[in-house]
Chains A and B, each alone.
Chain A
């Protein structure tokens, strides 16, 4: 069940090392999610759960809603729990059901030469920071990385990415401010091919999924990438802030329609937000979470593990 970077990247690994990485990470995730005053079922679990008590079910619903799981996914989880003959431990049962809802075969396609990872999302979710950390991890795993600043809109976005690129020891390709982001992506892939870099990560400007013109621009970026290199982009990651409520569903829906998102990166899980909207996204759209962000440090980006996530969400 455990997911480590090596596993996600399809590398052979030392089991002991992986176990250590996993344990350390699990306790941190737990610690992070536990910062919230209310553990999801903390209060519920204290008293024995009585399936005959309507109030108990209502409190359970409230706990899930409070975690931003949303009305639909909450109803589904409650339905699944109700279908169980006997519930010995409510927290355990709930965690199991959440893990089932979220458990999808997660792959990370780096088969291309180079592989292109396109990173998209609304404003302020942490795209640039995520890219910095991802570039660093990939570098640590021996991959050569080039990052492309196709956010030509936001003031100083390029400078921000450049600083991250230096920290991660990745190559950097920028563009003119106000220039065509598709051209930056094109140049970046060309540069990566010429220099023999293995992975290109393309940063894009934050845009609300409702802004038609900006979404058109993003579609063009994707089209140019696909035309430049067959099979690209190999991964299209949607970055979602864990603090986001039910609007996260709309984000996932519309970005997927526009550019075919392959996975979600759930950031800022180091706050008290539990990121329950990811459960809703997985349930309603079948879109897997691939990575999670736990803080501002370079190694705070991790592969997503549904079992760990569900435990942390439920147990606090």
Chain B
């Protein structure tokens, strides 16, 4: 449902070559598109207003007026401004001169504090720190059990007190225990609370006073809407948090709340949680978040995930074969398996700039992928390497072997051909074209240059 902003701006500003000048009306229309895109991404409306005013000013500059592709120029400006705004004042965690460093997690119910606590502990261990978890959420039924079980999974000690209903006392005692066990970072998990709940907010402030944290982190759901601003302001008022952990970014939320919170409170996003697995916590990258908010795809994340999924030498080998224009069924299957490892096909394709907006019409059948594997595995090695040899008789055999029909085998053969074509186009810097989506994707520029950068390393 979301057209990427660059497509829409191109529509509004793209006919500049015909007109010759960029008039006030065209700029106003472009600003309207930016406003809508940001609102659809859940950026707070007041923040949007200020932001658009800022962009409008820059859009009057020479680089836009002279450009043959003003749409692209304006997108670039918007992207730069977003990145600058979200990235300003970014910093990692603060560590105490004398252990233990204390991290206090706070947030609304269901934002993901308990999971974030465990993820943070694991993250810290990778940084060679000894983390210690304190279960000070005494409100939600079984919250203590949850943290205990998570701690067990990742082998991090957890402090619990089931007989107490006083989070201040539990947090304080937990930190003493952290010192006793020789750990250097104590992470305090607290109960979820509404920012309008005076009593609970006072309790949180009391916990903060008692444990004197070096870092107070607000845990915020990436799906939060316009209220993100009100929530963040209330927590900033009462506990003056230092930064934000943004959770559930593995979904398709555009995450405009990240911008809102930064703009209103000045507090940076420090971490993002990108999956259910406990090692899926990453440092925040403003540039990627800007792309995400604008629906421009997230090429860097895509590349990173691909790198994790495929061994390095395998990558080089595959790339080389592709450049020679050979794309065997073995490559095809490897690509397919890599995609499975990386996540859903639709999600992956959505990360490619320019493809996101085409995808809304292209049906991606996830089940088909399982059939594909069966078909390829029913081919002989010779057939996989030289797809040209697969004649009618062989197709029938493959269909029988894989429990599919000849039509389905044909589909797989056609898929390989299309993928090969697509990859060749990507290599030559033309945008990929999805069958049935109509129109060549334009801004593959970012993707190919990012890829080139990677290759040089």
Interface residues of chain A, those whose CB is within 8 Å of chain B, are 35-37, 62, 65-68, 70-71, 122-126, 154-157, 159-160, 162-164, 208-212, 216, 241, 243-250, 268, 270-273, 276-277, 296
Contact = CB atoms under 8 A, between A and B. Distances in A.
A68 B227 contact: yes
Contacts of B257: 245
B252 A250 contact: yes
Contact of A156 (B44, B112, B145): B145
A159 B110 contact: no
A133 B139 CA distance: 16
B42 A245 contact: yes
Given A71-B40, A241-B110, A65 B45 contact: yes
A13 to B, nearest CB: 32
B110 A124 contact: yes
Contacts of B250: 208, 210-211
Interface string B345-363: 0110000000000000000
Given A65-B45, A212-B366, A246 B225 contact: yes
A155 B45 contact: no
Give the 6 A-B residue pairs with the shortest CB-CB distance, closest first: A245-B225, A124-B110, A245-B42, A156-B145, A155-B149, A156-B146
B338 to A, nearest CB: 15
A276 B226 CA distance: 10
A245 B253 CA distance: 9
B194 A268 contact: yes
A272 to B, nearest CB: 5
A200 B221 CA distance: 31
Contacts, number: 150
Given A66-B45, A164-B141, A272 B227 contact: yes
B251 A208 contact: yes
Interface centre among B46, B140, B257 (most CB of A within 10 A): B140
B190 to A, nearest CB: 15
A68 B230 CA distance: 13
Provide the main secondary structure of the chain A interface. loop
Nearest to B144: A156
A246 B42 contact: yes
Contact of A272 (B141, B196, B221, B276): B196
Contacts of A35: 196
A210 B225 contact: no
A67 B226 CA distance: 7
A71 B224 contact: no
Contacts of B143: 156, 160
Contact of B141 (A124, A163, A210, A270): A163
A201 B143 CA distance: 22
Contacts of A36: 227, 230
Nearest to B49: A62
B256 A124 contact: no
Given A65-B39, A126-B110, A247-B253, A155 B230 contact: no
6 contacts: A37-B230, A123-B112, A162-B142, A163-B141, A216-B366, A244-B223
B108 interface: yes
A37 to B, nearest CB: 7
Contacts of A296: 109, 139
Interface centre among A68, A212, A272 (most CB of B within 10 A): A212
Interface string B206-238: 000000000000000111111110110000000
A156 B147 CA distance: 8
Given A155-B149, A210-B250, A211-B344, A160 B256 contact: no
A247 B196 contact: no
A268 B109 contact: yes
B248 interface: yes
Interface centre among B112, B225, B230 (most CB of A within 10 A): B225
Interface centre among B44, B141, B228 (most CB of A within 10 A): B141
Contacts of B384: none
B101 interface: no
Nearest to A132: B141
Interface string B186-214: 00000000111000000000000000000
B447 interface: no
B150 interface: yes
Given A62-B45, A65-B39, A243 B224 contact: yes
Contacts of B45: 62, 65-66
A210 B227 contact: no
A266 to B, nearest CB: 13
Nearest to A154: B146
B251 A247 contact: yes
Contacts of B254: 246-247
Contacts of A37: 230
Nearest to A68: B225
B50 to A, nearest CB: 13
Contact of B145 (A126, A155, A244, A247): A155
Interface string B38-78: 01111011100000000000000000000000000000000
